[in-house]
Structure 1
C-alpha cells in the first residue's frame, strides 16, 4: 500500500445531503419522506428510480449555485455507517453571515464562553422559538450502497429528540466495532408528537436502526464488507447450515457407550459443526454414560463379553480428551 500525508485527515468526498424538508419558494416545508439533494444529476436521478419522485433543479436558500433534488416517496432508506466516528453534533445558530454560535452543550466554541442559551433560558432552552436560541444539529455521514460513487451522504436533523437517539445508537455500535468496518442501518423518518402546556406538537424524527443484523452481530466486532452490503446473507447461510445439520444431541442421548458418544463427536468434528456448547453437552453425556456403566456389574454381560478397554485414538483421528476423561 502507498503512503499518506500525515498532516491531513483523509476523508471521502461528500456526494450530497439527505434531508427531511425542502423549500417551496422561500418557505421551509417539512417532509414525511426523504429529500435527496446533490450537485450530481446522475445521483439524484438514480435516487428517484430507487425511491420514487421527480428529479428537478433547485437552488438552496441564500445560494445562487443550482443543484439537483428529488422529493422521494420513501420514508426509509438503506445505508451503511462507515468506519470511524460518523456523527457530529453541535447546538448552532446561523445567519446570512454564517455560523454565529457553535456549542458543545457546555461551551460556545466561537466565543469560548459557557453555553449562552442555557445561561439565558435555563435547561429547557430548546423549547424556545426557532431563531431565538441555537438549533440542535446532528450530522451523520453514511454511504448509500445502491448509488454510484464511493463518497459520503450527509443526513442532517435539527431535532433535539433525534439528537439523543442518534448519539445513543452510534455510540453503542462504536462500542462493538471500535470504529472499524461498516454497519448496515436503516434511516427512517418517523412521525412523532409531543404534548406540553395543553398543546400538541407534531414533528418528524429520523430513527437510525440496525438493518438485517442482530445486536449480537453488531456488537461482536467489525463485520466484513460482504456481510454489511448483504446483511441477510449471513442469516441465510446460517439457516442453510442449520437445515442440514444432524441432531448431534439426540444421537448422543441414544448412545449406550462412551465410544458411541465419541463417534458423535467425530462426526461433528468432521462436518465442522463443533461448538463450545456442543462439546460441553457431549462431555456431559459421556459422563452420564460412564456413570451408568459403573453401576452395572463389572463382570461379563449376558453374552459373556467384557466391556472393551478405552485406548488412544488412531493417528489422524480427532482427539477426544474432554469426553474420554472422567469429570473432575
Structure 2
C-alpha cells in the first residue's frame, strides 16, 4: 500500500511572482547589508531551479532565462520576467489555496498560526489580534496547462485582498471533485491611505465555467475536448448534498456559505434550512433576531419618508446565511450579538440587521474582517 501523504503531494516546479525586491541604495546600520524594498510588477515573474522548464515558460510567455539568487540567501535558481499577466492553468481539487498567519526571521518560519493555534509549537496563538506581528500569507497552487512539465507552481501573496477573495473561490472549486480549467491573473488595486494613495497587484482566479453550473452539480473527469473555443469541463446533473457538506464544516462561516450557495441555486427548502441552522448553531452561531418592532416612520424636511426609496430588496434566506458568516467572523474578536447589531446600526443609519439586504451584510462582513469596525 502506498504512503498516502507522499502519494498526494505533487512536485513544486517553481514559483509565480507578482513582484520583486530592489535595492534602496541605503545600508542597514545593524547588519551592514543593503536595505531592500518590494516593487510590484505588471507581468508575471517565474522562478525555478530548473533552467529547462523556465526555457519552456519563456517560449510560451516571453522573457529570457537568467540566473537568480534569492534575497534571503537561499539556493541559486533561475528567473524569467514574462510578458504575460494572465496564464491558462488547471486548478487542483484540493489545497488550491491555503492561508496562515506567519512570522519569519530571514528564511526561517518562526510562527505559523490559524488565528487560534500556533501550529509550530502547538500552543494558543500569542499575537495580539489588534496588532499582529504575523503577516497573512496566502498560497495558491496551480498547474500551467501548456508547460510540458508535471507538477504545480506556487504563488505567495501577503496582501489583504488576496486573503479575502481567493479562499471562497477555492472552496467552491473544491466541490468540483477534479481539476478545473481556469486562468491565473493579476489586477492592480488603488487604495487611498492617510499617507497617500497606494497601488499594488492582487492575484485573481477565474474559471471557464459559470458559477451557476458549478452550483448545479459536481464536475467529473478532466477537461473535455471540444471542436473549438477554450477547454471546458463536464457537469453532472443533480445537486450537492448540502447536509453532508454541512456535517463536515468546521465553522459556522462555512455553513453560511453553503446556505448562500443553496439559496442562489434554488435548492434551499424548509428541511434544508432547518438542518443548516441546527449545524450553524452547533458550531456556535447565533441566528439574528427575526422579529423586531420598527419605530413609526417620520418624514424628512422635504416630507419624504425613508421607506419610499427602495434601493434593494432584502432576501431573508440569503441574509440569514450571511449573518452566520458575520457571527463566525466576530467570534475571534470577542463581539457579542448585541455589539454586532449596534455596530451595524451605526454604519447603516440605525438599520437593524434583520431588515438589511445581502449587499449591506456583505459590506459589513468585509469591514469586520478588515478591522474597520
Flag whether TM exceeds 0.5 (same fold): yes
Q: Which one of 44, 56, 64 corresponds to residue 54 of structure 1?
A: 64
Question: 2:181·2:231 contact (CA, 8 Å) conserved in 1?
Answer: no
Q: Tell me the alpha carbon deviations over residues 43-90 of structure 1, each in whole angstroms, 9 at most, x when there is no partner.
A: 111111211122111011233522111111211111111132322210
The answer as to 2:86 corresponding to 1:89 is no
Match of 1:20 in 2: 18
Distance 1:52 1:190 in 2: 19
Question: 1:44·1:70 contact (CA, 8 Å) conserved in 2?
Answer: yes
Match of 1:215 in 2: 211
Q: Tell me the alpha carbon deviations over residues 208-228 of structure 1, each in whole angstroms, 9 at most, x when there is no partner.
A: 111x32223334212432339
Distance 2:74 2:124 in 1: 36
Match of 1:140 in 2: 140
Match of 2:203 in 1: 206
Q: Which one of 186, 190, 199 corresponds to residue 193 of structure 1?
A: 190
Could you say what the CA RMSD is over the residues aligned between the two structures, in angstroms? 2.6
Match of 2:27 in 1: none
Q: Which one of 32, 35, 38 corresponds to residue 48 of structure 2?
A: 38
SS of equivalent residue, structure 1 residue 224: strand
Distance 1:191 1:233 in 2: 27
Distance 1:66 1:7, change over 3 A: closer
Distance 1:223 1:98 in 2: 40
Distance 1:170 1:187 in 2: 12
The answer as to 2:77 corresponding to 1:67 is yes
Match of 2:338 in 1: none
**What is the TM-score when the length of structure 1 is the normalising length?**
0.60
Q: Which one of 63, 76, 80 corresponds to residue 90 of structure 2?
A: 80
Distance 1:228 1:139 in 2: 30
Aligned residues: 219
Distance 1:54 1:32 in 2: 16
How far residue 13 of structure 1 moved from its aligned partner, in angstroms, is 0.8
How far residue 100 of structure 1 moved from its aligned partner, in angstroms, is 1.3
Distance 1:198 1:156, change over 3 A: closer
How far residue 159 of structure 1 moved from its aligned partner, in angstroms, is 0.8
Distance 1:226 1:152 in 2: 17
How far residue 6 of structure 1 moved from its aligned partner, in angstroms, is 4.6
Larger RCO, structures 1/2 (Cα 8 Å, 6+ apart): 1
Distance 1:208 1:79 in 2: 9
List runs of 5+ in structure 1 lacking aligned partners.
Answer: 127-132, 236-328
Question: 1:80·1:145 contact (CA, 8 Å) conserved in 2?
Answer: yes
**What is the TM-score when the length of structure 2 is the normalising length?**
0.53
Question: 1:183·1:223 contact (CA, 8 Å) conserved in 2?
Answer: no
SS of equivalent residue, structure 1 residue 116: coil
Q: Which one of 179, 184, 190 corresponds to residue 181 of structure 2?
A: 184
Q: Tell me the alpha carbon deviations over residues 8-44 of structure 1, each in whole angstroms, 9 at most, x when there is no partner.
A: 5532111111111123456333212111111111211
Distance 1:18 1:206 in 2: 10
Matches within 5 A, 1:96-111: 96=106, 98-111=108-121
Q: Tell me the alpha carbon deviations over residues 221-251 of structure 1, each in whole angstroms, 9 at most, x when there is no partner.
A: 124323399973559xxxxxxxxxxxxxxxx
